Structure 1
Amino acid sequence: MITPCPAITPEDDAVPWTPPLRPSRRSLLAGAAGAAGAALLTGCSGGTSAEEDPAIPLERRMRESAVRDSERLLERYDATRAAHQALAERLAPLRAAVAAHAAALAPAAAGSPAPSPAAPSGAVGAAAPTASAEPVPPKPADALTALADAERKLSEARTIDLAGAPGELARLLASVAACGAVHAHLLTSNPGAAS
């Protein structure tokens, strides 16, 4: 049997309307980080690429993506070094660390060699720099700041990727992200203070 709805009387309507609660800044940031992580993992293209192929294990796809990111960062180091020869000595150990990150992140598969870093970290003129997505600023201080920004952005992206990474890869990404944050600091700190 269906019971009719009770009638609303004017006395029932005396409770004032209150607006719904707004989400906290923390919950908005967590949601944005989750959405960004999901977007990074799913990609934006309509076609099926190696990153989206379900036949390729998630860890391998994440490693290949991380290696490509490290190689793009190596290109930025090389372009900065080529544009500002006076910075070569300062950039050499940081670039070598990024090359080591690329090698450590490379997926190990039976029968296939690990990808090599974009260029050797040896002498200043050892490798021709690859074209970078962004031009190197003409002033050395601005070039260091731009490189620090690239390190910081990649460090933040890797921190977001931690949520979906398998155990060992998550630990490696955390370590590489922390190293990138240190690089960003070293690139913008006073070089003479530590020596």
Structure 2
Amino acid sequence: MPWTLPSRPSRRSLLAGTAGTAGAALLSGCSVGRATDAALTIPLERRMRESAVRDSTRLLERYDATAAAHPALSARLAPLRAAVAAHTAALSLTPSAPPSPSRSGGTGAAAPAASGEPVPPAPAEALTALADAERSLSESRTIDLAGAPGELARLLASVAACGAVHAYLLTSNPGATS
């Protein structure tokens, strides 16, 4: 007669399984209720803020490289860059003054941005590249909202919305009437 599996576990196997699980929990030092929600969200929030600050800093460097390569765009870029600097400061864990633009002599040539990508030589293309960077960062921040703690999520949502507006402003034709 072939052996078949019992339809339900025996009392002995249930007791052994429960004892094994309890023993493993004790040996691993696991304790229920010891970690609070605040203790769990602080490291996550710190990582998310540090990443957001790095991304904003790279975007600031792109603004600086674009303004250096195309000095005629500096006045148009200045208020947008100032907003990105304010976002960087707001996202930072330590209060500090927003980074000021670096003033390297612009030659109009394809100056490399901080990301290593060259600034396009044509002003319109440079604005489009900057708008693409703003749009990409805005989309990334929108995705990050799902895992962000409450207050940081609200801040990321505001910064993402502002980035989407920046992308629009960079690709719109200033002074044109419609």
TM over 0.5: yes
Larger relative helix fraction: 2
Q: Residue 145 of structure 2 contacts residue 156 of structure 2 at CA under 8 Å; is this kept in 1?
A: yes
Q: 2:88 and 2:158 mapped to 1: Cα distance?
A: 13
Pair 1:82-2:61 in alignment: no
Task: Pick from 128, 136, 151 the counterpart of residue 104 of structure 2.
Answer: 128
Q: Report matched runs for 1:68-147 at 5 Å.
A: 68-108=54-94, 114=95, 116-117=97-98, 119-121=99-101, 127-128=103-104, 131-133=113-115, 134-147=117-130
Q: 1:171 and 1:59 mapped to 2: Cα distance?
A: 12
- The structure whose Rg is larger is 2
Q: 1:100 and 1:141 mapped to 2: Cα distance?
A: 25
Could you say if the C-alpha distance between residues 62 and 83 of structure 1 is closer, same or farther in structure 2, counting changes exceeding 3 Å?
same
Please state how far the C-alpha of 1:67 moved relative to its aligned partner.
0.5
TM-score between both structures, scaled by the size of structure 2: 0.68
Could you say if the C-alpha distance between residues 182 and 55 of structure 1 is closer, same or farther in structure 2, counting changes exceeding 3 Å?
closer
Please state how far the C-alpha of 1:127 moved relative to its aligned partner.
3.0
Secondary structure in structure 2 of the residue aligned to 1:127 = coil
Percent of aligned pairs sharing the same letter: 76
Per-residue CA distance 1:83-115 (angstroms, 9 max, x = gap): 00000000000000000000000114xxxxx35
TM-score between both structures, scaled by the size of structure 1: 0.62
Could you say if the C-alpha distance between residues 165 and 56 of structure 1 is closer, same or farther in structure 2, counting changes exceeding 3 Å?
closer
Could you say if the C-alpha distance between residues 69 and 115 of structure 1 is closer, same or farther in structure 2, counting changes exceeding 3 Å?
farther
Q: Which residue of 2 aligns with 1:10?
A: none
Q: Structure 2: any 5+ residue segments left out of the alignment?
A: 5-39, 106-111
Q: 2:158 and 2:48 mapped to 1: Cα distance?
A: 15
Q: 1:116 and 1:68 mapped to 2: Cα distance?
A: 16
Please state how far the C-alpha of 1:56 moved relative to its aligned partner.
6.5
Please state how far the C-alpha of 1:193 moved relative to its aligned partner.
3.0
Q: 2:104 and 2:62 mapped to 1: Cα distance?
A: 12
Per-residue CA distance 1:2-48 (angstroms, 9 max, x = gap): 8xxxxxxxxxxxxxxxxxxxxxxxxxxxxxxxxxxxxxxxxxxxxxx
Q: Which residue of 2 aligns with 1:160?
A: 143
Q: Residue 120 of structure 1 contacts residue 127 of structure 1 at CA under 8 Å; is this kept in 2?
A: no
Please report the RMSD computed on the Cα atoms of aligned residues, expressed in angstroms. 2.4
